[in-house]
Amino acid sequence: MRQMIIGNWKMHGLRGDGKELAQEIAAAIGPALTRRDVVLAPPFTLTHCLAPLLHEHGIGLGAQDCHAEAEGAYTGDISAAMLADLGVSHVILGHSERREHHHETNARIRRKAERAREFGLCPVVCVGESARQKEDGHAEPWLTEQITQSLPADFDGIVAYEPIWAIGTGKAATQEDIESRMVFLHGVLADHLETDDKPTRVLYGGSVKPEDAASILAVPGVGGVLVGGASLSARSFLGIVQAGLSSAS
């Protein structure tokens, strides 16, 4: 399975600098796209203006959220149908920042994932534990609950594992930490999902940097990475996209 690199720009970028960043990435990314899938998820305000450029260069267009309903009186929200209409292919759901700041529950994320698939979008559902849960030994029950409650049994999208204690800290989990979590997560997914013939791609996210990317991407079970801050620099993001490719078989 090809690995996927997703750049999550979060709430960064006006039209001018957003276009400039996307153009820098698109101009240099060509060779890597023969080996890896790449998606950029800009703020909603940049989705329309970046769509032609990204599509022209074979880069997927992602979004950072969608509403659980197809339409309705939900002021300020964006529906999956609206995203699909703009050419979006992937949508990030249940990111730890939305779970915390918008109080999103597993049940709500599940409804969003189902709605995204209804309109042809690939949901990228985030799961992850806090530092306290990790230290108290509650991480695995917590992750199991997130997976079984956030993903419908016929889920065929992507899971992104983001240890909350590593996000924005500049400290990624060790290779041993990541490999252990990947074994665990793939096991839970295999038990929960009714899609045994199609393994789920599981990404790692949590302060991914160019200097760490090759070792992270080499960990068994890692289907790619979800990149936050480092995706706001063309040089850094391209370094992650290209990490390990020269030595890969």
pLDDT, tens digit, for every residue of 10-20? 999 999 999 99
Q: Is 9 annotated as a binding residue?
A: yes
218 alpha-carbon distance from chain centroid? 18
Is the separation of the CB atoms in 177 and 139 below 8 Å? no
pLDDT band at 203 (very low <50, low <70, confident <90, very high): very high
Residue 118 annotated as catalytic: no
Give residue-wise pLDDT tens across range 122-164.
999 999 999 899 888 899 999 999 999 999 999 999 999 999 9
Q: Is 10 annotated as a binding residue?
A: yes
User: pLDDT at position 40, please?
Assistant: 98
At 135, the amino acid letter reads: E
User: pLDDT at position 206, please?
Assistant: 85
Residue 95 annotated as catalytic: yes
Catalytic residue among 97, 104, 129, 162: 162
Helix (H, G, I), strand (E, B) or coil at 56: helix
Q: What are the φ/ψ torsions at residue 64 (nearest 5 degrees)?
A: -100, 0
CATH number, span 3-241: 3.20.20.70
Q: Is 106 annotated as a binding residue?
A: no
Q: How far apart are CA 10 and CA 107, in angstroms?
A: 23
- Residue 126: CA count within 13 A, CB half-sphere: 30
90 alpha-carbon distance from chain centroid? 9
Q: Is 8 annotated as a binding residue?
A: yes
Query: CB count, 10 Å around CB of 27?
Result: 11
The least confident of 80-89, 128-137, 210-219 is 128-137
pTM for this predicted structure = 0.96
Catalytic residue among 95, 97, 104, 129: 95
Q: Is 19 annotated as a binding residue?
A: no
Is the separation of the CB atoms in 130 and 164 below 8 Å? yes
